[in-house]
Amino acid sequence: MADDDVTLFGKLKNKLIDSKQKWAQDGRLLTGHDAPPTERLPPGQRQVENWPVLDLGVQPEIPLHAWRLFVDGEVEEPTSWKWGEFTDLPKTTLTTDIHCVTAWSRYDNRWEGVSARDLIALVRPKAEAQHVIFHSYDTYTTNVPLADFAGEDVLLAWSWNDEPISREHGGPLRIVIPKLYFWKSAKWIKRIEFSVLDKPGFWEVRGYHNYGDPWREQRYDEEA
């Protein structure tokens, strides 16, 4: 891969990161209530019409000719794709909601991409693989159980509302896991690692919940 073609814009927002860690320490935004998944709006959330931009201050610019996706770890068929190879895979279109840990939710987002189930069928995780670790072009990482990555509504998405996902929102490719807070849906995805061991990622080691169920209001680590 031509690493020199991938550039990073901006620098880490250390003050923002510190403030988000303080939110976790203080339990900011917590209501103390759970809700059944049948309720569309999880506790403590408000519905918005726009799509707020949230990142660490770095938004990688990834030319499509330089883009690669690597899938490895505990799989029978480690694989890498170039952009055209990946977008030639069977396509799935889904409409889902977004629930951000910063307390906003956006309804009816139309996504197109490759379903996680189709990717899993191609790489064939080994029996001992229980976790999935996402690695992004901006060095961000986050973790989910394999059982959740294998959900029927999980996508590796390149399109949002019938347009290519913009760079600021994680294009050219991002993860979409609607049942979890959206920090679990990694932007600018570069590598998907199947693992025997769980590996908490950027926010999980900074006081945020390791799982992140919006309806159980799992915003923060209870021991943080």
Residue 10 has pLDDT above 80, yes or no: no
Is residue 65 situated within a structural domain? yes
Classify residue 224: in a domain, yes or no.
Answer: no
Would you put residue 37 in left (φ > 0), alpha (ψ -120 to 50) or beta? alpha
Chain mean position to CA 91: 19
**Does residue 163 fall inside a structural domain?**
yes
pLDDT digits (tens, 9 = 90+) for 75-101: 999 999 999 999 999 999 999 999 999
Domain of 36? 3-216
- Which CATH number characterizes residue 94's domain? 3.90.420.10
The pLDDT assigned to 16 comes to 83
Given a cut of 50, whether residue 3 has pLDDT beyond it is: yes
Which of 198, 197, 200 has its CA nearest to residue 220?
200
Cis check: omega of the bond before 214, within 30 degrees of 0: no
Give one DSSP letter per residue of 83-122, joined into a string. HHHHHTSPPEEEEEEEE-TTSEEEEEEEEEEEEHHHHHHH
Average pLDDT rounded to a whole number, residues 149-156: 98
In this prediction, residue 223 has a pLDDT band, given cuts at 50, 70 and 90, of low
Q: What is the model's pTM?
A: 0.94
**pLDDT the model gives residue 1:** 44
Closest Cα to residue 213, out of 124, 116, 99, 96?
99
Structural domain includes residue 147: yes
pLDDT band at 43 (very low <50, low <70, confident <90, very high): very high
Residue 221 falls within a domain, yes or no? no
Q: How far is CA 172 from the centre of its chain?
A: 13
As a whole-number percent, the residues of the chain with pLDDT over 70 amount to 97
How confident is the prediction for the chain on average, in pLDDT?
A: 95
Check pLDDT > 50 for residue 213: yes
The answer to whether position 33 is within a domain reads yes
* Domain annotation covers residue 129: yes
So what's the pLDDT on residue 101? 97
222 inside domain: no
**pLDDT value, residue 83:** 98
Span 159-177, mean pLDDT?
98
**Which whole number is the average pLDDT over 171-189?**
98
The end-to-end CA distance of the chain, in Å, is: 39
Two tokens, residue 1: 């891969």
Number of domains in the chain: 1
